[in-house]
Amino acid sequence: MKFKHSFKPVKAGNNSYRYISGSITADIDIINENCIKVKIGKAESSPPETECKNGFSVGNTEVKVETENLLLSYYKNGKRLFADRSPLAYNLENEFGTGVFHYVTREKDEKIYGLGDKSGYLNKNGRSFTVETTDSMGYDAENSDPLYKHVPFYICENSVGSYGIYYNTSSTAYFDFGREHDNYFGRYKYFRCGDETLEYYVFFGTKLEILQQFSRLMGKQALPPKWSFDYCASTMAYTDAPNSYELMLGFIEKLKEYDLSCRGFYLSSGYTSIGNQRCVFNWNYEKFPDPAEFIRVFRENGIEIIPNIKPSFLVTHPMYKELAEKGLFVKQPDGEPFVTQLWDNLGSYLDFTNPEAVDFWQSQVEEKLLDFGIRATWNDNNEFDIKDPDAVAYSGEKACRIRPKLTELMVKASFEAQTKKYPDIRPFLSTRSGSASVRQYAQTWSGDNYTSFKNLKFCHFIGLTMSLSGFYFYGHDLGGFSGEMPNAELLLRWLQHGVFEPRFTIHSWNDDGSATMPWSHPEVMGTVRAIFAQRARLIPYLYSSAYNSVENEIPMNAPLFLYYNDKEIDENGNSFMVGRDILAACVFDEGESKAEVFLPKADDWYLKDKFFKGGRKITLDIPAEGEAVYLTRAGSVIPENAADYGFKMGESIVLNVYAKESGSFTGELFFDDGESIEYLNNNCTKLHFNVECNENEVVIHCENTGNNSLEYDIKLIDFKKRTKIIK
């Protein structure tokens, strides 16, 4: 009977429970003390004879199961954390239409975070979203939806506590967090997609613990090489121009002229152009007569080329006919290539569920890129924008249902090609699209943003939302990608924010054909160079934080509330954590120069060498023509590169010990050669600190548990001016 389904509970195994109603089977598995998995669908099964109780405990959470319509409720300390919506939460017999649905309770003022690269402020309560991958160039960072990522995961915080839900689907999904109201039900939120079986995970714990559990489920991040944390340049204008090589060589000369460090250049797709169309793996030899020599010159100057590659082939591509004949594209039901609109023309997507297509891709990555000396790839335009339900993949799946899977398989193929060619170094990849599991292979960025102060502000929140969704290694196109050239103030504000992002890249496709570069506004070049120098000083800290991020799932950038519970924290404010020990603040409004920042009371803070007790608000002066501003947590050790800044800068490590008012603290730092995989064999430096802050002295104990030694100086920052003792 519709709207009324009686489920029988049966034991399915250790830590596994099964509920059966006719042809509907629901399996609940306890993954660990903080996570369960629920799977509901139609299945042929013979239930075991042994019935079991309704409900169980998961760590400190009690889970109650009501067999009428299978309603799950979750309790923490005797209070209901949340529950399936009564009287019906699931689409058991198409009561809600086609596809799968999941309705759960909602508190009016609860807070919801996540879903990938979603627009607007951090809290998504009251809004609705589409989760699918979309090429959304020039998007409105406050309102546009969807964007580039596919992450059906969110964290909810209410009056009782926090929980997270991840829906295991690659289909286009829809989330409603309170925008919809229905007379027959109380407050609710819901998920739906076109799958036939519903599978989801529920996580319990603090917001940080929930994020860590989800991130581990998605797979361990790839540790980026150290060079990728320095300034990496890019622009569409250089490779679109007929004199591309001349402009690229001129870029190196400009770096030398202004004495700027740069370690990477994202090579936009104009290097593959045939006429005005971009054809992946096709070097334009008129623009680049000798690609190997081009790569050699850049690497000789310490700059890695990161070439743009796309999974789509235009119908005019020289290899299109051959690939179509081999059946390497996503297909129509009649076996012909599925053709869709791409930005230059019609074209087709390579089908990465087909092993032959993967082999082809990897051979092209090797022959057309890696054999020339390239050691990185920029996997772009990989949203696989296929919505036609008739399009089919080699695997037999509907292509529209596996779009993020195709993206991940593409990036994985590039990753494997790079590791095969260079087995002893860590590959560097960047991807615009994907699900959170693509973190195993590549970093990402917020896509083709728009140049404005408004979009600077809301890209800040998009970045933190990506952090709260498992994308820890991310960045933005500093200055803005599309629109007008940013004025000097806007460019400086972007750079001040970019100092703290894992990816520090200026990239543009300005309406007037100009290229946004560090020297775009000569009148502020002194400030630009100071900001770049500040970034270079911070790289040892950022790199050590990246290792901590990989090993312990600590985000590189995060809102303060991920670590602190102070009610005074403004989640829509302009401050955020960088690693675990730096609190940064930025200005996002034109003409403003001050920022009010709340300092969490659980820690004390330093502004350079000035000490502040936690639990108070301070006002920071942050002029546009100045360095970025940040505070450092008392009880931390911050490494910096104290070498003279410049185009060919070296490295001189200073460890800054920020003393506490009293008591002791510990810390850990990571150093290695920056590019090999030798750290996996402990051929690295792992410094462990134990610092005791007494009345008259600060005693610093340091131990290296790695196999490699490291030369460094220790500097004590202490408002009490106590004696430094190193043991």
Per-residue pLDDT tens over the stretch 435-466: 999 999 999 999 999 999 999 999 999 999 99
> Does residue 1 carry a pLDDT above 80?
no
> Does residue 473 carry a pLDDT above 60?
yes
Question: How far is Cα 623 from Cα 631, in angstroms, rounded to an integer?
Answer: 16
As a whole number, mean pLDDT of residues 598-602 equals 98
As a whole number, mean pLDDT of residues 704-716 equals 98
Per-residue pLDDT tens over the stretch 556-565: 999 999 999 9
14 pLDDT band, cuts 50/70/90, is confident
Beta strand 482-483 with 629-633: parallel, antiparallel or unpaired?
unpaired
Burial 343-374 (b: 16+ CB within 10 A, else e): ebeebbbbbbbbeebbebbbebbeebbbebbb
DSSP string across 3-30: T--B-EEEEEETTEEEEEETTEEEEEEE
Provide the residue type at 465 as one letter: T
CB contact at 8 A, 601 and 615: yes
The phi and psi torsions of 5 (rounded to 5 degrees) equal -130, 125
> Does residue 48 carry a pLDDT above 80?
no
- pTM: predicted TM-score of the whole model, two decimal places: 0.97
Which residue, among 309, 325, 432, has the nearest Cα to 376 in the 3D structure?
309
Identify the pLDDT of residue 406. Answer: 98
As a whole number, mean pLDDT of residues 615-621 equals 98
Identify the pLDDT of residue 47. Answer: 55
Question: How far is Cα 12 from Cα 30, in angstroms, rounded to an integer?
Answer: 12
Q: Is 690 helix (H, G, I), strand (E, B) or coil?
A: strand
Ramachandran assignment for 306, one of left (phi > 0), alpha (psi -120 to 50 degrees), beta (any other) = beta
CB contact at 8 A, 441 and 411: yes
Which residue, among 61, 48, 60, has the nearest Cα to 16 in the 3D structure?
48
> Does residue 45 carry a pLDDT above 70?
no
> Does residue 586 carry a pLDDT above 80?
yes
52 pLDDT band, cuts 50/70/90, is low
Per-residue pLDDT tens over the stretch 363-422: 999 999 999 999 999 999 999 999 999 999 999 999 999 999 999 999 999 999 999 999
Tokens of 202: 């529920």
Identify the pLDDT of residue 664. Answer: 98
DSSP string across 264-326: EEEE-GGGGEETTEE-TT---TTT-S-HHHHHHHHHHTT-EEEEEE-SEEETTSTTHHHHHHT
Question: How far is Cα 378 from Cα 295, in angstroms, rounded to an integer?
Answer: 15
Q: What H or E segment, with its residue span, contains residue 191? A: strand 188-193
> Does residue 49 carry a pLDDT above 70?
no
Per-residue pLDDT tens over the stretch 240-277: 999 999 999 999 999 999 999 999 999 999 999 999 99
> Does residue 485 carry a pLDDT above 70?
yes
